Amino acid sequence: MRALKAFVPFFMVAAAAFPAKAREDVNIYSYRQPELIAPLLEAFEEETGINTNVLFLDTGLTERVKAEGVNSPVDVILTVDIGRLTDAKEAGITQPVSSALIEDDIPAQYRDPNGEWFALTKRGRVVYASKDRIGVVPITYEELADPKWKGAICIRDGQHPYNIALIASMIAHHGLDYTETWLEGLKANLATRPNGNDRSQAKAIMSGECDIALGNTYYVGLMMTDEKEPEQQEWAAAIDILFPNADDRGTHVNVSGMAMAKNAPHPENALKLMEFLASPEAQEIYAEQVFEYPVMPGAEASDIVKSFGEIHPDPLPLSEIAAQRRQASELVDKVRFNDGP
C-alpha cells in the first residue's frame, strides 16, 4: 500500500501546499487528525489511483478558504462537529453535491438538505459515571439539572462546540426558556468550574473530584487503547458510559463530516473521494480506527464501541439542532455558565 504523499503541518502560501499538476489529484483540508484519516485515504488511493494531498489545520480552516477565494486549491473539506460543517456552508465555501450513492448511504437526518455537507460518523454526547459510586443507571439530560446531582458533575468549557451542540438540541426539543432554566440548574450542580477536555473529565471522576461528567463516546475508546499514555486506560476503566434518554427521545449525537469546496479545482475527483468516504468500506475503516458510530444504516461499530452498550440516537435532524447554536452560545454567557457553581 502506498504511503500518503502530503501530510503537512501548515503552509503560509496556499499554492505551496499542494502539487501544481493534476487531473489525478484531490486536495483536502482537514480538521481531523492525520493519523485518523490516513487508513481511509490509503484505501482510496489504492482503489482509484488518485493521489490525496492533505493539509491538516487545527484552527482557521473556514477563514483560510475564504481568504484564498477562487484560487483555493482545496477540493474536499473534512471536519468535526455539526457547527463547523454549518459554519462552512454559511461562509459560502462549500457547494451543493448531488450523488445517489452518497444519499443511499447517508440518512437524510445526517446530511444538509441542500447537499452542502454530509456526516460520515457520529458520536454520542453521553454521561461518564463513576463505576464505584454510580454504576449503570438510567439517566436523562433533563435530569442533570436535578438538585440530587449537586456538586457531582464535571464538564468542559460551556462554549466548546460539543457542549453548544448539546445545548442547541435542548433548545430544539424544549424551547429557549426551558433550556435557560435547565442550564442554570446544571451550573448549580457542577463540582467545579468547567475546565479541561473530555478525557480529563474521566480523570476527574477517577480522582473523586466528581461522580458524573459529559463526554463523547469515542474518547473512551481512545483512552482504552492509549499505549503512549497508559494512565488514560485507568481513567477509562474508572467509568461507565450512560446513554441519556435511551428510553425516550434518544441520545444526542454529533458528527464528523465532509463537504466539497466551492472552488474545487478537481470536482470529479472530489466527488469520487466523497462517494468513497460514504461507502461501506470506508464506514468500516472509520468504525475501527476512530471508535465512532457509522452513519450508514446496518454498518457495525467496532467491538470496543459495542462494549459501551447500545446507542439510540436522537432522530432530530442535525440541521434543526445547528439552527439553535447561536442562541445556545448566548445562553451560556447569559447564565455565566463558565463561572461554575
Asked if 159 and 329 count as a contact pair (C-beta separation under 8 A), the reply is yes
Asked if 248 and 261 count as a contact pair (C-beta separation under 8 A), the reply is no
Greatest alpha-carbon pair distance for the chain in Å reads 63
Distances (CA, A) of 26 to 44, 80, 189, 249, 331: 11, 20, 49, 40, 41
CA distance 341 to 337: 8
Asked if 196 and 204 count as a contact pair (C-beta separation under 8 A), the reply is yes
CA distance 72 to 55: 12
Binding residues: 218-219
Asked if 30 and 54 count as a contact pair (C-beta separation under 8 A), the reply is yes
Using DSSP's 3-state secondary structure scheme, residue 324 falls into: coil
DSSP designation for 335:
T
Q: How many CB atoms lie within 10 A of CB 41?
A: 27
Using DSSP's 3-state secondary structure scheme, residue 2 falls into: coil
Grid cell of 115 as nine digits: 447537499
Paired strand residues for 78:
30, 258
Asked if 209 and 155 count as a contact pair (C-beta separation under 8 A), the reply is no
Among residues 246, 238, 253, 165, the alpha carbon closest in space to that of 205 is found at: 238
DSSP-derived secondary structure for 214-259: EEEHHHHHHHHT-SSSTHHHHHHHTEEEE-TTTTTT-B-EEEEEEE
CA distance 278 to 294: 9
Binding residues for Fe cation: 218-219
